[in-house]
Amino acid sequence: MTPTWLGPEISRLRGAFTAGRLPHALLIHEAPGAGGEWLAGWAAQMVLCSRREEAPCGRCAGCQRAAQGQHPDLTVMRPLESSTQIRIEQVRELAAELALTAHQGGYKVSILSPADSMNRFAANALLKTLEEPPQGTLLILVVTQPSRLPATILSRCQRVRVRAPERADAVRWLEATRGPGDWERVLAVLGTTPMAAAAADPAAVVEVAAEVRRGLEEATAGGGDPVATAERWARSELPLRLTCVENWLTERIRGQAGAGAFFTEVRAGAHPRGHGKSLDLHQLFGLLDAVRELKSSFDAPINRGLALESLLRSLSAGAA
């Protein structure tokens, strides 16, 4: 089902296509998880559909192959499994592919996602294709941080902005595509990223979030077994658990900062204790940094259990 919040972008793209004004390069700038890739896939189907007047019809062979990622004239380029970057060899391959005539005699489409994962060399290689695109080319770059791409690339693409939907729109779409579930809670845990929520098991997310909260409350009260809890958390659903810890800490910081107190304290550089049995802002920010660090180094071979254990111990120490 079409994400309702993409309606305006969809009609603009369709209008441009019908009028023969579709540019040969689109830059879809999306809020994280807001459906940029979905829109790229939709646009690919539109130009590869054999029923031009109702493209994308969703029923013809062109649409179906594109939807399954098996259309000979559609390439989707991502960082290779072992890497976080799109590399120059991949872009060269893509350029060579685009230079060939379309198998079906129509468009040749390439989706690069996330395009801001192209390294400098890859971006330079892509520039050549952007400067002189072969006839019938549609390049679609999906990015969350366009500023990471060179200006020379940005200036050659038409920008399409995809904003995060309102919570209520996201919930309605999730109910329609995935069926019933506590999507409000799932979105509260994962942030306003309907695409990430759509890939999740709602019951499991809610359960893990509740379990992490219990563990953190327990540690804050000086109880629980940090070693066992840390080991259990490191073993399963670690990224989700870290997001839950991050949410919990953020909540605490907001709660403790109150309205004006936060800015006063930060400006004064003071981190007073004396909030009863709780960690002060300075400590909470320190823990938040540690969790974010752990999240970003997720692929790095560090001892996650130990890092979590130290976090739980810090909470317990705050209770002492």
Minimum CB distance to Zn ion, residue 135 (Å): 22
Of 71 and 304, CB closest to Zn ion: 71
CA distance 283 to 54: 58
Of 63 and 139, CB closest to Zn ion: 63
CA distance 39 to 3: 9
Residue 223 phi/psi, 5-degree rounding, is -105, -165
Minimum CB distance to Zn ion, residue 61 (Å): 8
Helix and strand numbers (H, E) in the chain are 15, 5
Of 60 and 238, CB closest to Zn ion: 60
CA distance 56 to 59: 8
DSSP state of 118: B
Of 30 and 73, CB closest to Zn ion: 73
Minimum CB distance to Zn ion, residue 98 (Å): 22
Minimum CB distance to Zn ion, residue 28 (Å): 21
Cα distances (Å, whole numbers) of residue 174 to 58, 68, 206, 244 = 20, 21, 15, 21
Element (H, E) at 137: strand 137-143
Minimum CB distance to Zn ion, residue 54 (Å): 8
Cα distances (Å, whole numbers) of residue 199 to 88, 150, 243 = 30, 32, 16
Of 60 and 88, CB closest to Zn ion: 60
Minimum CB distance to Zn ion, residue 52 (Å): 9
Contacting residues toward Zn ion, per CB under 5 A: 49, 57, 60, 63
Query: In this structure, are residues 17 and 56 in contact, taking their beta carbons and an 8 Å threshold?
Result: no
Residue 305, token pair as written in the block: 């259990």
Of 31 and 60, CB closest to Zn ion: 60
Classify 126 as helix, strand or coil.
Answer: helix
